[in-house]
Amino acid sequence: MHQPLKKLILTLSLPFLAAPMATLRAQSLVPSSAPEFVYNGVYPFETATSTTNYSLPNIPTGFGDIDLYLSDGGSPIARQFVYQFSHPGDPSAIVYQGSFLYMDVVDMQVGAVWNSYTNNMNLLVAYAWGHDHYLDIYDLTSSTTNPVVLKSSTQLSHNTADYGRIRMDCHKQYGVAIVWENKGIGLQTMMGNGGAWGPIVTLTGTELATGPDVAFSHSGNDLNVHYAYYDPKLSAIVESAAHWTSLMTGPASATLSLEDINVIGGAPKSRIILDCPDHHPQENWAYTYSDGSNIFVRLREYNTLPAPVTVSVNSGVLGNASTLPQHQVFSPALYYGAGTVDGRSGQITVGWYATDLSGFNGYIALEMTEDGTTLLSKPDYLALPDAYTPQVYPYYSYPYQADILAIKPGIAFSRNSEHANFLYTTYYDANAQTAQGRFHHAFHKWNDVAFKGQAPVTLHPECGNHLKAHSSETGINTYPNPFRDKITTNLFLKEDGQLLQSLTDITGRQLWQYQTIGKKGSCQISTDNLAQLAPGTYMLTTSLNGQRIGTQKVTKQ
């Protein structure tokens, strides 16, 4: 398995780089007044394929409160999990930067959750390594010299037949949803709740599904999880949903509630990127994909539209000039915000890599209303800062190849709308002559002249109170699961008392027991003498003062 590596970079001068000189044929590019800088992480890279990111404001650390920016980037040969701290509200005022190196990792996702049992922030990295999938959990510590420390690594899938995509979304520092493509079995998913993790659930009817994505929505009392994936049997992209709580505590398999079947013929020539407004009066959703010429957005807007619609955002239907047919387009990204712009509730931002295979090669974007009818950003397109090269991006493959290694340019928007100041954006470019890759970090200000996005709406009361209520309850978080020779359990106890933990097989036969005095608050139990236990499924039961407080299913590898 990989060996995370790290060096420290304490300061960095962050230049505000000039707007691009290149222009689209017959279209106008509006300079995006976004602070931007290039940071490739600690380890230099040349090739680049894709990126994801996540951001949170006002996070307590040993440096004081900071804005947290997480990202990943690289190639299947070497990727980096990059973390950056800045002064609140000022992404140019870097407090700390660093990265961890992952070798031979095909896919990666980053996120963060507040751990109610340990009372600290956990940084999450989900990825595909070989044919299997993993979740690494890092602690954000109070140290000013070693602030990010690997806590655990859990294998989510085993001996899958081939590479399958993995994606993750987080909600308001407590909810986590992960989905991955387990070849030969179907899509599998796992939920997290403030540091606790639910079981792995197989989604029925998804045996042939490929390229999934996942996103949270919250329109009422229930927190919901949306999925989008391509079904080759239907030649369609399918969008479905489920209640987060039912998946968090659910059985080994679950059936999603079907919401849309979008028949597109063959598989899309890009990855599917799905997002929902975190808090909104309706269960709206949108995803983007490409056929190589069009950037499509499929959306469901319950306020005014009777059914889902598909919009080609670069075709001119929004009143912007078309980029067809002279431009090839790749790697679209999408952000669904829930602020109010010009009296409209909600906005959808889309960005992608465009090339005319000659002098125009770079990233453009636009912002539209949530019904897909009107541009919100200035026409025709937003020009991402310092995002252009004179030649075609050297790792771009033309004509398009379906192989995962040929998906070269990468752009991502942070899907978390909690940040009150900026929309965090990451993207790659490279100089064709030097083959030196650059990893850009840009911060699009809400309510900018060109970028019309607005700060997020007020949280639902249950979100604001969720962590407080959760941390006052008795909670259990056991990892790694599956395990090899050691199990560690974090608990939050309501009172002092006699703490008993036992491991039994499926017949109820007790195989291991541990007894100690537990103190009110956070505590931890660890055992490292389980190497001789036969591989299989077991039940881990925890009791306090004779009363059972939790039973978890654990798997020995």
DSSP state of 314: T
pLDDT at 472: 32
Angle of CA points 450, 451, 452, to nearest 5°: 105
Residue 435 CA: distances (Å) to CA of 52, 391, 411: 22, 11, 18
Whether 509 has a pLDDT exceeding 70, the answer reads yes
Whether 22 has a pLDDT exceeding 50, the answer reads no
pLDDT tens readout for residues 278-318: 888 889 999 999 999 999 999 999 989 999 999 999 999 99
Determine contact, residues 528/486, Cβ cutoff 8 Å: yes
pLDDT at 462: 61
Determine contact, residues 272/228, Cβ cutoff 8 Å: yes
pLDDT at 63: 94
DSSP state of 233: T
Q: Phi then psi for 100, rounded to 5 degrees?
A: -115, 140
- The sign one gets for the Cα dihedral 158, 224, 151, 518 is negative
The amino acid present at 401, given as its one-letter code, is Q
Q: Phi then psi for 26, rounded to 5 degrees?
A: 65, 5
Higher model confidence: residue 249 or residue 354? 354
Whether 4 has a pLDDT exceeding 50, the answer reads no
Q: Which residue has the tokens 């655990």?
A: 152
Range from 67-81, 140-154, 197-211, 512-526 carrying the lowest mean pLDDT: 512-526
The amino acid present at 511, given as its one-letter code, is L
pLDDT at 46: 63
525: Cα separation from own chain's centroid:
30
Higher model confidence: residue 464 or residue 251? 251
Q: What average pLDDT is seen over the chain?
A: 84
Q: What is the rounded distance in angstroms from the CA atom of residue 236 to the CA atom of residue 539? A: 40
pLDDT > 90 in the chain, percent: 51
The pLDDT confidence band at residue 424, using thresholds 50, 70 and 90, is very high
And the tokens for 179?
């989905």
Mark 304-332 as b/e (b = at least 16 C-beta within 10 Å).
Answer: eeeebeebbbbbeebebbbbeebbbbbbb
Whether 256 has a pLDDT exceeding 90, the answer reads yes
Angle of CA points 292, 297, 303, to nearest 5°: 170
pLDDT at 343: 65
The pLDDT confidence band at residue 457, using thresholds 50, 70 and 90, is low
Higher model confidence: residue 481 or residue 323? 323
Cβ-Cβ contacts under 8 Å for 460 (sequence gap 6 or more)? 218, 279
Domains 29-461 and 474-556 share a fold: no
Higher model confidence: residue 514 or residue 368? 368
Range from 11-25, 166-180, 215-229, 530-544 carrying the lowest mean pLDDT: 11-25
Q: How many CB atoms lie within 10 A of CB 476?
A: 19
pLDDT at 456: 64
Whether 407 has a pLDDT exceeding 60, the answer reads no
SS3 helix, strand, coil % of the chain, rounded to 5? 5, 55, 45
Q: What is the rounded distance in angstroms from the CA atom of residue 75 to the CA atom of residue 395? A: 10
Q: What is the rounded distance in angstroms from the CA atom of residue 425 to the CA atom of residue 55? A: 10
Determine contact, residues 195/113, Cβ cutoff 8 Å: yes
Determine contact, residues 548/539, Cβ cutoff 8 Å: no
Higher model confidence: residue 141 or residue 464? 141
> Topology of domain 474-556, per CATH?
Immunoglobulin-like (2.60.40)
Q: Across 122-126, 244-248, 419-423, 489-493, which has the greatest mean pLDDT?
A: 122-126
> Topology of domain 29-461, per CATH?
Methylamine Dehydrogenase; Chain H (2.130.10)
The amino acid present at 252, given as its one-letter code, is A
- Stretch 457-465: mean pLDDT, rounded? 60
pLDDT at 550: 72
Domains in the chain: boundaries: 29-461, 474-556
The amino acid present at 146, given as its one-letter code, is N
pLDDT > 70 in the chain, percent: 85
Determine contact, residues 510/523, Cβ cutoff 8 Å: no
DSSP letters spanning 451-474: ----PPPPPPHHHHHHHHHHHHS-
Q: What is the rounded distance in angstroms from the CA atom of residue 442 to the CA atom of residue 211? A: 27
Cβ-Cβ contacts under 8 Å for 237 (sequence gap 6 or more)? 228, 229, 230, 231, 261, 262, 264, 268, 272, 287, 289, 298
The pLDDT confidence band at residue 435, using thresholds 50, 70 and 90, is low
212: Cα separation from own chain's centroid:
12
Alpha helices by DSSP H, 192-334? 244-248
Determine contact, residues 310/265, Cβ cutoff 8 Å: no
Residue 138 CA: distances (Å) to CA of 97, 105, 475, 525: 15, 18, 20, 19
Q: What is the rounded distance in angstroms from the CA atom of residue 340 to the CA atom of residue 335? A: 15
pLDDT at 396: 44
Whether 401 has a pLDDT exceeding 90, the answer reads no
DSSP state of 404: G
Q: How far apart are the first and last CA of the chain?
A: 15
For the entire predicted model, the pTM comes to 0.80
Whether 469 has a pLDDT exceeding 50, the answer reads no
Angle of CA points 229, 231, 237, to nearest 5°: 50
- Stretch 324-338: mean pLDDT, rounded? 91
Range from 3-7, 114-118, 436-440 carrying the lowest mean pLDDT: 3-7
Q: Which residue has the tokens 């800062």?
A: 385
pLDDT at 3: 39
pLDDT at 433: 64
Closest by Cα among 107, 103, 223, 227 to 162: 107
And the tokens for 485?
């020779």
Three-state SS at 3: coil
Whether 341 has a pLDDT exceeding 80, the answer reads no
The pLDDT confidence band at residue 465, using thresholds 50, 70 and 90, is very low
Range from 226-230, 255-259, 406-410 carrying the lowest mean pLDDT: 406-410
pLDDT at 21: 39
Cβ-Cβ contacts under 8 Å for 104 (sequence gap 6 or more)? 2, 76, 77, 78, 129, 130
